[in-house]
Structure 1
Amino acid sequence: MSDEPRRDGESRRPESPGRLDAVQRMLALLLRSAGARIAEDIRRLAGGAAATAGRDIRAAFAHLFRNPHLGKISLAALVALYLLSGVYVVNPGEEAVVRRFGRLVQARVGEGLHYRLPWPIERADKVNVAEIRREGIGVTPPEHGLQFHPPEEVQVLTGDENIVNLKVIVQYRVKDPADFLLRVDYDANPLIRNAVKHALTAVGAEARVDDLLTVGRTELQRLVQAAGQRTLDEYRSGVQLVNLTLQEVIPPREAADAFRDVASAREERAKAINDAEGYRNSVVPEARGRAERLLREGEGYRADAVNRARGDAARFGSILDEYRRSGGEDGGDVTLYRYYVEAMEKILPRVKKYVVDPKGRNERVNIRVVEPR
């Protein structure tokens, strides 16, 4: 009982590979025969199409060869059209570069209507030299559209051994179209990025981080633009940096808190200085005005005292002259008495007076404070 299944299995195993091989060989023969028929059909169709196209072309141009005058006119028209293809227009704000078999023959062709030898002898490439273009370092300008990869961060080591991340926007234009076309090939952005990065590294290494974060930013922009322009000129890129703006100076995330504390302390210091300067500006003018007023009052008092003294001296001099003209001591009593009476007239009305008549006669009393000699 146990031997029969084993014999059946042994008899079936060698038959399976043979059947599979036969099926595979049959399929291969069918595919080869079908492929041969398809290839023959394709060759037949292609030959027929080519023959048909050739007959159509010969038929289309047969009338030209049958009429020699018409053929000459057509040939002349074709030559004229070929020569006229060398006419080109340079628009305002553009300049053209003309090359003959790849060799530069005209570097700067201005705006207007011009002619060059037709292709492939000469070619004219136009470059917009008036357009202001932008490129970002550490930031993507909006006109560049959506970017799948974020811009590469630009880190600079400052002179006081601090690290900051910078974002820079560069505006540039083409100043030499020949150099721009032949050396940069219309794509100046990578060269500008590398030149500005090199300038940022070199200039930032000599600056202090406080200057980058505050008042030194404008000077840094000027120095970086000048250094980047020198690099571009060395490579004869034909590009001029019009403006460079240091958009952001960002400390590393690890040191952001410390930078914020420093910035807050700097703001408080600046506020205290501004408050002190404001107080000084309000107090100093007031003190100066008060001092000036006191000086003017002192000068006025001095002038008034001097004038009064001079007036008293002049009056005394006039009295002395009158006393002398009255005849000396005898005649001077009258003058003195007159001045005495005038003085009493001024003094007595302002004081309380008590007059006692010892005789009780109720007569007129002659008051003399000073007895005459």
Structure 2
Amino acid sequence: MRIFDGFGQRISLAMAGKKSPWGGGSGQGGDGDKPTGTESGDKPKGPRNPWLPPGGSDEGRRAPNIEDIFKNRGPEGPRRSGGGGPGGPNFRFPQRPGGKSWFPLAVIAIVGIGLVATSVHLIGPQQQAVVKTLGDYTRTLQPGLRITAPFPIETVDVEDVEGVRSVRIPGGDSQAKLILTGDQNLVDLSYIVRWNIKDLADFKFRIVDPIDTVNEAAEAAMRASVAETQLDETFSGQGRAAIEQDVRERMQRTLDGYRAGVRVLGVEIEKADPPAQVVDAFRDVQVAEQNADAARNQARGYAQQVLAQAEGEAEAFDKVYEQYRLAPQVTRQRLYYETMERVLSQTDKTIVETDNVTPYLPLPEIQRRAQRTAPDTVVTAPEGQ
């Protein structure tokens, strides 16, 4: 709009005979007949009029009229100096030796390169590709150099099928994932699921969001497995290994039922802790359970010790009984002596029942009392007994 406004103002100035900003006015008589900055016999001075046709004439510095304006104006606007107007250079596409243009060949070359680029595909050793013909799945391409119809007839989507992908549940480290165990306790579990693509066509076209499906299947399998496990088993290494194996098998069965095209490689439990709200009470319970286990182990050890001693005594008695059956009197007398020796060796009193027997001094008790400078008492049986 500004261009047309300025164009209208210049037309009105030219028709009104007023002085132009490029030179004198176009009216007859007065100072307007003589270009600005000129004298008789001198060449005109001042800026050149852009509305006049280009050339070396001095008339280029006179005031324009309406015919000059429309004569120098093309269908797309005023012609610029040095452009495509008369006397100006015209731009042309480079020509071939025969005089024909290179433009058609350039277009054909660009189209050919595009067709080749969208028809030849190099698929890596760990990759596969699905081909869609006019938007519909047609086939799967294996690793290697493959050729298809150009775009947009066939489109190729390359995917890494051997690479291991992992998902962490829950996603953030600060989030808690509380799961109910088989003994009605809550445990905070965080785990990692590793998987890759088993069937690329099913992975691409059977389900809407394969990654979200893997997450949901993993969470459902973990909850089902932990619900069949006791709380203590979730904290032990052997119990965790059993849970991980069970979750992997459950996930694989579920995803195969969906035909998701996913292979579950493994499940790893990173953390199994009690809920943060009851962690102190849970630690107290653990300490009490450890003390109870220690007491039970101690009782079992004592019981085993007593049992072993009793078994040893029973075996010794069986051997003595065998000897007793061979010589009852001798065995009885031997048992009596061994018993009295064992009993009397642990007492401080000595009883002498035989008459006219002088006790052998010092006896053990007398000797101990002599060392403490205390008198010893010897008890003898009365005579005649």
Report the TM-score when normalising by structure 2. Answer: 0.50
**After superposition, what is the alpha-carbon deviation per residue over 1:117-175, rounded to whole angstroms, capped at 9, x for unaligned?**
111111111111121111100255xxxxxxxxx66432211222111111011111111
> Which of the numbers 214, 238, 242 marks the counterpart of 1:192?
214
Q: Which is helix-richer, 1 or 2?
A: 1
Distance 2:90 2:281 in 1: 83
Q: Percent identity?
A: 31
Query: 1:62-77, aligned counterparts within 5 Å?
Result: 67=100, 77=109
Secondary structure of the structure 1 residue equivalent to 2:92:
helix
Change (3 A) 1:113 1:158: same
Partner of 2:16: none
**After superposition, what is the alpha-carbon deviation per residue over 1:317-349, rounded to whole angstroms, capped at 9, x for unaligned?**
xxxxxxxxxxxxxxxxxxxxxxxxxxxxxxxxx
> Which of the numbers 177, 187, 194 marks the counterpart of 1:154?
177
Distance 1:39 1:204 in 2: 81
Partner of 2:30: none
Query: 1:1-373, aligned counterparts within 5 Å?
Result: 37=2, 59-60=92-93, 67=100, 77-78=109-110, 80-85=112-117, 86-107=119-140, 109-140=141-172, 152-183=175-206, 188-214=210-236, 215-268=238-291
Query: How many residues were matched structurally?
Result: 239
Distance 1:235 1:151 in 2: 32
**After superposition, what is the alpha-carbon deviation per residue over 1:294-325, rounded to whole angstroms, capped at 9, x for unaligned?**
9xxxxxxxxxxxxxxxxxxxxxxxxxxxxxxx
Change (3 A) 1:129 1:269: farther
Change (3 A) 1:274 1:118: farther
Query: Aligned-residue CA RMSD in angstroms?
Result: 4.4
- The structure, 1 or 2, with the larger RCO (C-alpha pairs under 8 Å, 6+ apart) is 1
Mapped contact 1:64–1:71 kept (Cα < 8 A): no
User: How big is the shift at 1:61?
Assistant: 7.4
User: How big is the shift at 1:201?
Assistant: 2.1
Change (3 A) 1:279 1:75: farther
Secondary structure of the structure 1 residue equivalent to 2:260:
coil
Secondary structure of the structure 1 residue equivalent to 2:229:
coil
One-letter code of the match for 1:200?
Answer: M
User: How big is the shift at 1:102?
Assistant: 1.5
Change (3 A) 1:266 1:39: farther
One-letter code of the match for 1:262?
Answer: V
Distance 1:179 1:235 in 2: 9
User: How big is the shift at 1:206?
Assistant: 2.2
Distance 1:250 1:270 in 2: 21
Mapped contact 1:137–1:151 kept (Cα < 8 A): no
One-letter code of the match for 1:110?
Answer: Q
Change (3 A) 1:212 1:59: same
Change (3 A) 1:260 1:113: same
One-letter code of the match for 1:113?
Answer: L
Larger mean CA deviation between 250-259 and 165-174 belongs to 250-259
One-letter code of the match for 2:194?
Answer: Q
Mapped contact 2:115–2:151 kept (Cα < 8 A): no
Distance 2:214 2:234 in 1: 22
Change (3 A) 1:76 1:253: closer
Gaps of 5+ in 2: 7-75, 78-82, 84-88, 317-385
Change (3 A) 1:216 1:38: farther
Change (3 A) 1:264 1:78: same
One-letter code of the match for 2:169?
Answer: I
Mapped contact 2:132–2:139 kept (Cα < 8 A): yes
User: How big is the shift at 1:202?
Assistant: 2.1
Secondary structure of the structure 2 residue equivalent to 1:59:
coil
Partner of 1:5: none
One-letter code of the match for 1:102?
Answer: G
Change (3 A) 1:172 1:254: same
Distance 1:196 1:173 in 2: 14
User: How big is the shift at 1:116?
Assistant: 1.0
Secondary structure of the structure 1 residue equivalent to 2:162:
coil
Distance 1:58 1:182 in 2: 53
Secondary structure of the structure 2 residue equivalent to 1:216:
helix
Report the TM-score when normalising by structure 1. Answer: 0.51
Distance 1:128 1:255 in 2: 45
Change (3 A) 1:160 1:65: farther
Secondary structure of the structure 2 residue equivalent to 1:195:
helix
Gaps of 5+ in 1: 1-35, 42-46, 141-149, 289-293, 295-373
One-letter code of the match for 2:233?
Answer: D
One-letter code of the match for 1:88?
Answer: H
Distance 1:241 1:101 in 2: 33
Distance 1:228 1:94 in 2: 24
Change (3 A) 1:65 1:195: farther
Change (3 A) 1:58 1:196: farther
